[in-house]
């Protein structure tokens, strides 16, 4: 069995002072009640705050999300990506890319943070 190096801690609107550990598959049912979410990979951390509309990466500077004026909710998505090489006989390699972000409720404004499978690299996206 492969070890899961990711941990997700969420705080809910109803209990903002009681963070709880959840599985990625449980996020869908909690999505509209989450006010904060912390993704941990190995020694890397990615924090999303729905109320203040900020990302904090590895405990560093707070990155304010511009253009998000109304109430927001956490957006998350797990996307599989396949690398193919026609110049090699090696089999293709599958990787998982984690995407988290904020979605302005009732509007089309979104911001996403795309994170590699091991959590070591990341980049901003405005569209998927």
Give domain limits for the chain: 6-125
Share of the chain above pLDDT 90, in %: 14
Contact 89, 105 (CB under 8 A): no
What are the structure tokens assigned to 77, written together? Answer: 């998505």
Q: Which residues contact 31 (CB under 8 A, 6 or more apart)?
A: 73, 74, 76
Q: What is the pLDDT of residue 24?
A: 82
DSSP 69: -
pLDDT range class, residue 105, cuts 50, 70, 90? confident
Which tokens belong to 112?
């996403």
Q: Are 55 and 46 in contact (CB under 8 A)?
A: yes
* pTM (2 d.p.): 0.72
Compute the distance between CA of residue 82 and CA of residue 90 in angstroms, rounded to an integer: 13
pLDDT at 19: 94
Output the six-digit token pair for 52.
């203040």
Q: Which residues pair with 112 in a beta bridge?
A: 101, 125
| Secondary structure of residue 49 in the 3-state scheme | strand
Mean per-residue pLDDT of the chain: 80
Neighbours of 74 (CB within 10 A): 21
Residue-level pLDDT at 49: 87
At residue 91, does pLDDT exceed 70?
no
Q: What is the pLDDT of residue 1?
A: 37
pLDDT of the residue at 119: 75
* pLDDT per position as a tens digit, 12-69: 999 989 999 998 888 888 888 999 999 888 778 888 888 888 888 888 877 776 677 7
């Amino acid at each position: 069995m492969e070890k899961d190096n990711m941990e997700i801690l969420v705080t809910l609107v109803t209990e903002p002072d009681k963070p709880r550990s959840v599985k990625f598959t449980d996020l869908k049912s909690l999505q509209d009640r989450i006010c904060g979410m912390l993704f941990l990979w190995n020694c890397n951390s990615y924090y999303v705050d729905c109320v203040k509309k900020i990302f904090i990466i590895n405990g560093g500077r707070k990155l304010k999300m511009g253009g998000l004026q109304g109430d927001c909710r956490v957006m998350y998505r797990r996307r599989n990506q396949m690398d193919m090489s026609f110049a090699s006989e090696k089999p293709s390699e599958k990787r998982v890319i984690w995407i988290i972000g904020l979605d302005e409720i009732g509007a089309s404004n979104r911001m996403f943070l795309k994170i590699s499978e091991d959590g070591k690299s990341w980049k901003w996206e405005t569209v998927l």
